[in-house]
A and B are shown apart, each in its own frame.
Chain A
Amino acid sequence: MHIRDGILSPEVCVVTGLISLAAVGYSLRKLRLDLEDRAVPLTGMLASVVFAGQMVNFPLIGLPVSGHLLGGVLAAVMLGPWAACLAITLVLVVQAVLFNDGGLLSLGANILNMGVVGAWGGYAIYTIIRKWLGNGTMTAIPAAVIAAWFSVLAAAALFCFEFGCSTGSQEFHLRGIFTLMVLYHALIGVGEALITGSVLSFVLSRRPDLISIPGAASPITNVSQFVMAGVVGGLAIAAILAPLKSDHPDGLDQVVQQTGMEARQIERDGLVFQGYELPLPRGFGWSTLATSLAGILGTLVVFGIAMGLGKGARWNLPVIESGEPHGR
Chain B
Amino acid sequence: MADNSPVVTPIGPCDAIPGTARLALTLLVIVVSSLIPLEHWPAHGLLLVVVFAGLSLAGVTLGYLARRLMLFLPMLLVFGLSVPITQLHRESAWGWMVSLWLRCTISFLAGLWLIHVLPFPELLATLLRWRCPPLLVAMLAFMYRYIFILWDELARLRQAREARNFGSGSWKRDWVTNAQMIGLLLLRAMERAERTHQAMLARGWDGSPKFLGTEARKGE
Q: Name A residues whose Cβ lies closer than 8 Å to a Cβ of B.
A: 4-7, 9-10, 24-25, 28, 31-32, 36-49, 51-53, 55-59, 61, 69, 74, 78, 86, 89-90, 93-94, 96-100, 103-105, 167, 170-177, 180, 194-195, 198-203, 206-207, 210, 328
Contacts and interface: CB of A to CB of B under 8 A. Distances in A.
B104 interface: yes
Interface in B89-137: 90, 92-93, 96, 100, 103-108, 110-112, 114-115, 118, 120, 123, 133, 135-136
A69 B185 CA distance: 13
Residue among A6, A24, A37, A175 with the most chain B CB within 10 A? A6
Contact of A100 (B92, B108, B139, B141): B108
6 contacts: A28-B135, A42-B190, A46-B189, A93-B140, A173-B86, A206-B187
A56 to B, nearest CB: 5
Residue among B35, B82, B114, B146 with the most chain A CB within 10 A? B146
Contacts, number: 224
A45 B192 contact: yes
A37 B206 contact: yes
B43 interface: no
Interface string B12-32: 000000000000001100110
B150 interface: yes
A9 B136 CA distance: 27
Chain B's interface size range is 35 or more
B197 A41 contact: yes
Interface string B189-205: 11011101100110001
A203 B187 contact: yes
Nearest to A83: B139
Contact of A86 (B31, B114, B136): B136
Given A37-B207, A195-B179, A49 B197 contact: no
**10 closest residue pairs by CB, A with B:** A176-B86, A44-B142, A202-B183, A5-B107, A37-B207, A6-B103, A198-B179, A6-B104, A45-B193, A48-B146
Grouping DSSP codes into helix (H, G, I), strand (E, B) and loop, the A interface class, with mixed when no group exceeds half, is: helix
Contact of B174 (A48, A53, A59, A176): A59
B160 interface: no
Contacts of A98: 115, 120, 144
B145 to A, nearest CB: 8
Contacts of A86: 136, 139
B130 to A, nearest CB: 12
